[in-house]
Chain A
Amino acid sequence: MNWNFEILPDFIFNGLRDGAVYAAAALALVLIFKATTLINFATGELAMLGAFFVYVLNIEQGLWLWLSIAIAMLISAAIGAAVERALVRPFDPADHLPVVLITLGLFLIINAVAGDVWNYQVRRVNDPFGAFPSWVPNGSELKTSSEGTIACLNNADGELVEVAAGTADAQMCEMVGRTFFEVIGARLHYRTIGTWIALALALIALAIILGKTKAGLAFRAVSSNTESARLVGVNTGRTLGFGWALASVFGTLSAALVAPALGGVNPNMMLTILIYALAGAALGGLDSLGGAVIGGLVVGLIKSVLVSWFGVVVLGQAYFSILQLAMAFLLILIVLLFRPAGLFGTRRIERV
């Protein structure tokens, strides 16, 4: 065994990076599950659609990236609510099968439509946390390095400037052009930190919406007991629509944040991610928002540290690298067998 601890931090950071992706997607899954106690298989595809809206607004229309994300979130909210109203509400909420089938159908339809509209080529998107943004004062981007000098791309005039290595200018140039911090010899990408901050902010926002607003209260009432909520006068239909809208908003945010890590947007971007997200959600508890985030993180870390670092590097078994997806399934299975409610989910107690 080759305990190569030197590169362990790299794998931990990878786990954090991938974990952020799964956590964000798991959050969207859990929101729908809380409202309806069913898994929305179209979660990933709705999120992908949202990412394409960001692409259209930001890249094609030239809007500011964060504004594009905000608008895309609003559009997605409308779509989520519309899907709930048109396709989910007509069915008996107690009968899950038709609704699950509908979400599966939606999954296929949205994927095919997106493929038809945008084709399956990956389209590059701007990275919200890629490098220091160009509006940072004196911002310049590291372009290439050669002996003794560093070529900096100056953002102000787009010119390549040669600066001597080791000078303050060069340090600035390197720092600004980089996309990561170096921590104990490993690369901690700005994207990883940014995505986790964005996720934390989203969780706080979600806690406020669900805890402090009337709509949130209704949502909690419906997710706790639909029948009772209806009896006390909560408009359950509208509340479930609100839940779908909220889930679509978070789906879009997650897809917009992860797209750069996948090379860009394309109709298949969320396919496999959804499976890891499901594993994360199952682990954390399908009805626990915090659990989804922690579950997503754990899945990311298991993939990186257990499978890739321990399996491939330490044990020296190269084939472990293709077992990552299998590990996600295994995790789902283990959780379902031994702790069906997940680590942080509500245990259902039935009284006779």
Chain B
Amino acid sequence: MIKRRMWRLLALLFAFSLVAAACGGDDDADDAGASETETETTAAASEDEAMDEEMAEEEEDEGATGALGGAAAEEDIEAAVAGEDDDEEMADEEMAEEEEMTFDRSTLQGIFDEAAARRAKTVAELTEKVEAGEYGVGDDGILRGPAGFEIDMNECPSDWSSTTGITDSQVRIGHTTAQSGNLAAYGVIADGWENYFNWMNANDPIMVGGSPRDLTLIVKDDGYVAAQTIEFVDELIEAENVFSILTLGSPNTLAVYDKLNEECIPQPFVMTGHPAWGDPVNHPWTTGLQMSYSTESILWGAWIRENLSDLLPVKVAGLVMDNDFGLAYELGFHEWAEANTDVVSEYLPVRHDPAAPTLTNEMTTIAAFEPDVFISMTAGNPCLLAVQEAGQSGLYDDINAKGGALFTPSVCKAIEAYMKPAGDYANNWWIVGGGIKDSTDPKYVDEPFIAFVNDNLVEAGLDPAVSLYATGYMFGYPYGEALRIAADLPGGLNRTNFILAVRSIDMYHPQALDGINAQLNGSADAYFIEGSDFSQFDAGAQTWNIIGDIVDVNGRSTNCAWDKDNGGCR
């Protein structure tokens, strides 16, 4: 009796363990449905084997076509890093722009005035084209936009409507995010985003047909589990009737972007930098916002070439989160390293379970490899663990003694969450920062828009020390701008106007560093932010110091039709 009971209990225990594993570990999320730990690991293993040296030749051939897709051309980036960029051209462009519009960016009013003027310009340009029949949905059912952007609306579901989600009082926007699990820290981005929408609703609402509509977020917690994202996206479409959907996380977004594009539901400004979001031909309804991980990978390489010339070629080790997110980094840098053997002599990526509570063994393995450069390619809590364990394993001291460098990825920029808790070990880490200002950085807290964000958070009872709230504004602000542009186009706010507005947006983003453009242009420019700072952390002042010039290769990233089966761009 007791034995039987014991067995039952243990069976339950085992089942629970499996559930927990499924929750913690991430999957490649190619298909709907959860995959169990075992299949996950074998899949990962076979993928890894594919990266093995014996298959390197084969891979070289395969990789050659898609090499470094989703990023700017390598020469462009490297020239920019080396400061040989076509500055004159850029300067001319900027000057022309400034002549056209001069606004005082040192005041909030000036920033909002500039935003309004830029919107008006975009609306005027689009309206002219729409009225001329060049843009918008034509008689043939094709939606046309700038730079050859096209969507065949005939392929949308028969019950599809362009105004789904717009009610008498609301514009309903769905959002899946991680509010539980290892990446739960990112969950508060939704609160910041919602807070900005609340501010818009109260102060300067979106007008549809002459009456204000509240932007309403419907947030679902997928715990960073792609299988959950799939379920919640179905729910948002079928039960919540949302206008558009925003997803967080690479595996999660990859799991649903095919469906959302088939369903013709806008999915702009997704919260992930995977290169796959720059695919206006196959996934016209999806766009990213932040710098792509492929661009970041190239920037790491370019920085090493420029700044560690005494040590070249260097040994590089990466700590990789074992899911679509981390693998995008791993692949991006792998390709760059293969093409630049004069810079990187050896590259060792060490993968970790996304749910790992500690990274002691992974970091010891890396320390034993004795790299000159360490690159953390992870997210969430492991950002901090990597910095901390680099210190405790001795890697931090060894690399600094050699004059090498340690990089933390752009998604780990948040000072309060990922750098401050590591204490002195956080000092002197490098970041390809993605051109974004941290809202807790003393350098920026007095800037008008950052101050506005922080004040706004305090009013709502949210803690401005948590910079991920401000990240919500970083996503909410352009989202709001695109909605406003769409609302002013002929036909008012609807899904086709919205995606047209998103694909035409050209704005000043006050949370991006000066010199970083925030722009999309139909099929020609499918990446919003394509520039970055190179910054180094000062643990004493708790700030990222920008070292050298800002690099911006706006409009020069090649599009990327992501190959889900083999990784890389097709």
* A interface residues with partner B (beta carbon < 8 Å): 4, 7, 10-11, 14, 17-18, 21, 37-39, 41, 96, 100, 104, 111-112, 115, 119-124, 143-144, 179-180, 187, 189, 261-264, 266-269, 271-276, 278, 282, 303-304, 307-309, 312-313, 317-319, 321-326, 328-329, 332-333, 336, 340, 348, 350
Contacts and interface: CB of A to CB of B under 8 A. Distances in A.
B56 to A, nearest CB: 15
B392 A187 contact: yes
A271 B20 contact: yes
B356 A324 contact: yes
A41 B15 CA distance: 13
Contacts of B463: 119
A273 B463 CA distance: 29
Interface in B16-44: 16-18, 20-21, 24-25, 37-38, 41, 44
Nearest to A272: B357
A115 B179 contact: yes
A319 B48 contact: yes
B355 A271 contact: yes
B24 A325 contact: yes
Contacts of B384: 122, 263-264
Top-3 shortest CB links A-B: A308-B361, A120-B184, A124-B421
B17 A278 contact: yes
B123 to A, nearest CB: 39
B419 to A, nearest CB: 11
18 contacts: A21-B358, A37-B9, A104-B16, A144-B427, A179-B392, A264-B421, A273-B357, A275-B21, A278-B17, A304-B361, A312-B350, A313-B365, A318-B48, A318-B351, A326-B21, A329-B14, A332-B17, A350-B3
Given A321-B352, A326-B38, A348-B3, A308 B362 contact: yes
Given A262-B357, A350-B1, A272 B24 contact: yes
Given A321-B350, A336-B14, A348-B2, A121 B368 contact: no
A7 to B, nearest CB: 4
Interface SS majority for chain B: helix
A229 to B, nearest CB: 17
B179 A18 contact: no
B351 A322 contact: yes
Contacts, number: 188
A4 B187 CA distance: 42
Contacts of B13: 39, 278, 282, 332
A160 B373 CA distance: 29
Given A122-B185, A322-B322, A303 B368 contact: no
Nearest to B365: A312
Given A10-B368, A115-B180, A121 B393 contact: no
B153 interface: no
B466 interface: yes
B72 interface: no
Contacts of B348: 318
Given A121-B188, A180-B392, A282-B10, 4 more contacts: A124-B423, A303-B361, A312-B350, A326-B37
B410 interface: no
Q: Which of B352, B360, B362, B418 has the most CB of A within 10 A?
A: B360
Contacts of A187: 392-394
B271 to A, nearest CB: 15
Contact of B358 (A18, A111, A350): A18
Contacts of A143: 424
Interface in B381-395: 381, 384-385, 388, 392-394
Q: Which of B41, B361, B364, B418 has the most CB of A within 10 A?
A: B361
Contacts of A336: 10, 14
Contacts of A307: 361
A274 to B, nearest CB: 8
B6 interface: yes
A325 to B, nearest CB: 6
A92 B463 CA distance: 45
A324 B353 contact: yes
Contacts of B184: 115, 120, 266-268
Contacts of B1: 350
Contacts of B399: none
Contacts of A325: 21, 24-25, 37, 353, 355-356
B361 A122 contact: no
Interface in B303-331: 322
Contacts of B118: none
Given A100-B12, A268-B180, A321 B361 contact: yes
Interface string B414-435: 0011101111100100000000
Nearest to B416: A121
Interface of B: 1-3, 5-7, 9-10, 12-14, 16-18, 20-21, 24-25, 37-38, 41, 44-45, 48-49, 179-182, 184-185, 187-188, 322, 348-353, 355-358, 360-362, 364-365, 367-368, 381, 384-385, 388, 392-394, 416-418, 420-424, 427, 463, 466, 468
B355 A262 contact: no
Nearest to B49: A319
B264 to A, nearest CB: 34
B106 to A, nearest CB: 31
A18 B184 CA distance: 23
A266 B381 contact: yes
A123 B381 CA distance: 11
Q: Which of A119, A313, A350 has the most CB of B within 10 A?
A: A119
A350 B417 contact: no
Contacts of A10: 364, 367-368, 393
A263 B368 contact: no
B185 A120 contact: yes
A325 B25 CA distance: 9
A177 to B, nearest CB: 10
A123 B465 CA distance: 12
Contacts of B355: 271-272, 325
A288 to B, nearest CB: 15
B347 to A, nearest CB: 11
A100 B322 CA distance: 32
A121 B189 CA distance: 12
Given A272-B355, A318-B48, A263 B385 contact: yes
A37 B420 CA distance: 43
B14 A14 contact: no
A268 B38 CA distance: 23
A304 B360 contact: yes
Given A122-B384, A272-B356, A323-B41, A96 B5 contact: yes
B357 A269 contact: yes
B357 A329 contact: no
B365 A308 contact: yes
A10 B423 CA distance: 23
Contacts of A41: 16
A324 B360 CA distance: 12
A267 B184 CA distance: 9
A61 B24 CA distance: 34
Nearest to B2: A348
A318 B358 CA distance: 17
A319 B357 contact: no
Contact of B6 (A179, A272, A348): A348
Q: Which of A37, A120, A268 has the most CB of B within 10 A?
A: A120
B375 to A, nearest CB: 15
A14 B360 contact: yes
B44 A319 contact: yes
Contact of A329 (B37, B362, B417, B421): B37
